[in-house]
Amino acid sequence: DTAVSQTPKYLVTQMGNDKSIKCEQNLGHDTMYWYKQDSKKFLKIMFSYNNKELIINETVPNRFSPKSPDKAHLNLHINSLELGDSAVYFCASSQAVTSGSQYFGAGTRLSVL
Amino acid sequence: TQLLEQSPQFLSIQEGENLTVYCNSSSVFSSLQWYRQEPGEGPVLLVTVVTGGEVKKLKRLTFQFGDARKDSSLHITAAQPGDTGLYLCAGVLNAGGTSYGKLTFGQGTILTVHP
């Protein structure tokens, strides 16, 4: 059983389209995150939810909108995709809201053409 | 300017050699983590250190947290080809208030161990 699973694994789309990435964790954690990894492998946090409540919202274009229907799920919707959005997006979860000990999904590689 | 400076960025060594990766900052962290990432996968947590001066060992890997909680090191003894991967240090800043689990990552070290 995969602890943190995200779909799809690969996403290829045209500029201007809207797309969503889904994430689910079966670890019973209260806190979930979205990270973006650029082409140089640098990871940067985008959002975090604790028990369905948004607690971290970094400087991310408002074209990106996270949504947490319940504490086991955190989805990411991206409107009007741009070339610069191409990256690998990782979902993660942690047991405690202040914990740096996080469990990551396998990533979604987004390519905007 | 990187909050966490990780060095070296690339390391290519022969099987059996020892190596050390460094993670430095001018900021204090409440905890520091080391992750390992393989191609096409997400980072996998190796260790968390929270106390200044703390040393943790995981088989051939030794992790140390600086006394002032501003730096950390990862030492691998007798490296093996299976150790090849991207090593990432990451920390939660000790910001006084609640930092939540906002991880700040270093730039990563790509380690290649040749047989």
A41, A98, A104 ranked by CB distance to B100: nearest: A98
Extract the tokens encoding B40: 């096409």
How does pLDDT run across A65-88, given as a tens digit for each residue?
A: 999 999 999 999 999 999 999 999
- pLDDT above 70 coverage of chain B, percent: 95
pLDDT of B85 > 80? The answer is yes
A13 CA to chain B: closest CA distance, Å? 19
What would you report as the CA-atom Rg of chain A, rounded to the nearest whole angstrom? 13
CB B94 within 8 A of CB B28: yes
First to last CA, chain B: 36
Instruction: Confirm or reject contact between B99 and chain A (CB < 8 A).
Output: yes
* Domain regions of chain A by residue span: 4-99
Pairing of strands B61-65, B29-37: unpaired
The mean predicted confidence, pLDDT, of chain B is 93
CB B87 within 8 A of CB B109: yes
What would you report as the CA-atom Rg of chain B, rounded to the nearest whole angstrom? 14
In chain B the domains, ranked by start, together with CATH numbers, are: 5-114 (2.60.40.10)
pLDDT of B99 > 80? The answer is no
CA atoms of A65 and A47, how far apart (whole Å): 9
Q: Do B100 and A103 touch (CB under 8 A)?
A: no
Pairing of strands B29-37, B44-49: antiparallel
Mutate to test the interface with A, among B51, B102, B104 (most CBs of A within 10 A): B102
How does pLDDT run across A42-62, given as a tens digit for each residue?
A: 999 999 999 888 988 887 899
How does pLDDT run across A14-36, given as a tens digit for each residue?
A: 999 999 999 999 999 999 999 99
Pairing of strands A108-112, A87-94: antiparallel
Architecture of domain A4-99: Sandwich (2.60)
Q: How confident is the model at residue A91 (pLDDT cuts 50, 70, 90)?
A: very high
Instruction: Give residue A8's identity as a one-letter amino acid code.
Output: P
Query: Which residues lie across from A72 on neighbouring strands?
Result: none
DSSP character for A97? Answer: T
